[in-house]
Amino acid sequence: MPERLTPLAVCALALLAERPMHPYEIAQLLRARGQDQDVKLRIPSLYHAIERLERDGLIEVSGVDREGNRPERTTYRLLKAGRDAMERQVIVWLQAPRAEFPVLPVAVGEAHFLTRAEVERVLAERRDAVARERAAVRVFQEAALDKGVPRRMLLGKEFTLHRLDAEPRVGRLSPVRSRERGP
Amino acid sequence: MPERLTPLAVCALALLAERPMHPYEIAQLLRARGQDQDVKLRIPSLYHAIERLERDGLIEVSGVDREGNRPERTTYRLLKAGRDAMERQVIVWLQAPRAEFPVLPVAVGEAHFLTRAEVERVLAERRDAVARERAAVRVFQEAALDKGVPRRMLLGKEFTLHRLDAEPRVGRLSPVRSRERGP
DNA sequence: GTCACACTAGTCGGCGTTGAATACTCCACC
DNA sequence: GGTGGAGTATTCAACGCCGACTAGTGTGAC
């Protein structure tokens, strides 16, 4: 019983809690709900994740069908063990912050290998990129709220906005020295 | 020329820019400097990363020695290509935010599978954990500054503090409904 | 009617990560 | 003089991730 679930696996289990689905359908729903901004969704990873969930007895095949000549679609159903495992994993994630490792601190830490001018240029580009991303998230959020999507499903967006708003500090934290040329 | 470097690879290259070292020595230095709080340092990952760097011509073996009966130590040296690749990667990371996927938004998004009481309990635990972590980071930071470590090397800690301070919002964002029992 | 393009549905193979194991040294303590 | 724990230095195998590919279906434009 390994039962350490990946974020994608938890999302898949959560959707299967609504009704049985086939993997591709799960992917579509995740995208439609904008959850692909919270979890890294790669189709092959999803298929592997589903396989593991089945192997571990958290879900089971509920049917295989095919339309015309298209590939077979295997539909899966959530099992009790799967529901429990998902809830345990959510508790673990809420309970304590995990050590996660964003690359920005590393990049800032090694920025002294660059010239001050280079650092200033790329950080300016970054500020623009952040502003664009922020705007895009807001558009998505507003559109969803207008369509009546409950706020509960959009909490991820609120986090993202908080995170993006905290970012501009980076610009104010760049004590770099001029380039030394090594090997 | 794949040349997409992992964070650990960049840190290794950065240390090799100081002088040739063997992998274990790199690990020790990273720990000594507290950089293992910014990058995920697992010894086997480091060995693999070094192997790849050598294979890709970014570093080269500068010698193999052994003390007594201990395992051989292979020392590596930074090459020009490695230095350039590292700088390019740092620029990429500074230039634009990458989509990174912390688990907290996912957990909050699926928290409606739990009862309100459970959510409140685990979030309270989380707040304590965050406070403890914050305190520990401050201690490390102060100690380092006292020892004369330059602030540039401690920017990662400042980021961490900002991130931890933003966290308590989570508690104020928990519109959960009471438990529904599904399959 | 056919060509280009987008969508549906899934597989394959190589890359990177990591818990566990190995094996030896040094040192303290009893 | 032996046992146990911490540190040194590396390897192994299983796992998870993902770019690239396959292969069929619908669709609009010329």
Residue B122 CA to residue A96 CA, distance in Å, equals 8
Phi-psi region of A63 (alpha: psi -120 to 50; beta: other; left: phi over 0): left
β-pairing, B73-78 vs A73-78, is unpaired
Residue pLDDT, tens place only, B134-147? 898 888 888 888 88
A130 closest CA partner among A161, A172, A91: A161
Chain B contact present for A137, CB below 8 A: no
Residue A89 CA to residue A5 CA, distance in Å, equals 7
Label residue A113 by pLDDT band (50, 70, 90).
very high
Chain A neighbors of B160, CB-CB under 8 A: 105
B131 Cβ contact partners less than 8 Å away, ≥ 6 residues apart: none
Instruction: Give B59's strand partners.
Output: B78
B61 closest CA partner among B20, B31, B30: B20
Chain B neighbors of A98, CB-CB under 8 A: 103
Give strand letter and number of the nucleotide nearest B51 (CA to C1').
C16
Residue A109 CA to residue B33 CA, distance in Å, equals 11
Residue B138 CA to residue B133 CA, distance in Å, equals 9
3-state secondary structure of B101: coil
**Predicted local distance difference test score (pLDDT) of residue A169:** 60
B55 touches strand C (CB under 7 A): no
**Predicted local distance difference test score (pLDDT) of residue A165:** 79
Instruction: Measure B35 CA to D3 C1' (Å).
Output: 36
CB–CB contact A162 B155 (8 Å) = no
| Mean pLDDT for the stretch of residues B75-96 | 95
B30 touches strand D (CB under 7 A): no
**Predicted local distance difference test score (pLDDT) of residue B30:** 94
Q: Between the CA of residue A130 and those of A13, A30, A105, A161, B99, what are the distances in Å?
A: 32, 24, 16, 10, 11
Q: Between the CA of residue A118 and those of A112, A167, B58, B110, what are the distances in Å?
A: 10, 19, 22, 42
3-state secondary structure of B4: coil
Confidence check: pLDDT of A65 > 70: yes
Tokens of B156: 């990662």
Instruction: Measure B145 CA to D18 C1' (Å).
Output: 42
Chain B contact present for A160, CB below 8 A: yes
Confidence check: pLDDT of A181 > 60: no
How many CA atoms does the CB half-sphere of B62 hold within 13 Å?
Answer: 14
Helix axes B43-55 and B23-32, enclosed angle (nearest 10):
130
Label residue B182 by pLDDT band (50, 70, 90).
very low
Tokens of A138: 């807001």
Mean pLDDT of chain A: 86
Residue B80 near residue A94, CB atoms below 8 Å: no
Mean pLDDT of chain B: 86
DSSP type of residue A40 = -
CB–CB contact B14 A113 (8 Å) = yes
B177 Cβ contact partners less than 8 Å away, ≥ 6 residues apart: A152, B112, B116
Instruction: Give B63's strand partners.
Output: B75
Residue B82 CA to residue A126 CA, distance in Å, equals 25
A174 touches strand C (CB under 7 A): no
**Predicted local distance difference test score (pLDDT) of residue A1:** 44
Confidence check: pLDDT of A159 > 90: no
Chain A contact present for B91, CB below 8 A: yes
B71 or A101, which is more confident? A101
Label residue A157 by pLDDT band (50, 70, 90).
confident
Chain A neighbors of B151, CB-CB under 8 A: 175
Chain A neighbors of B98, CB-CB under 8 A: 103
Residue B122 near residue B132, CB atoms below 8 Å: no
Helices (H), chain A: 7-16, 23-32, 43-55, 80-95, 103-110, 116-146, 155-166
User: Alpha-carbon torsion B106, B110, B115, B116, what sign?
Assistant: positive
3-state secondary structure of A159: helix
Length of chain A: 183
Label residue B33 by pLDDT band (50, 70, 90).
confident
Residue pLDDT, tens place only, A67-99? 766 778 999 999 999 999 999 999 999 999 888
Residue A156 near residue B105, CB atoms below 8 Å: yes
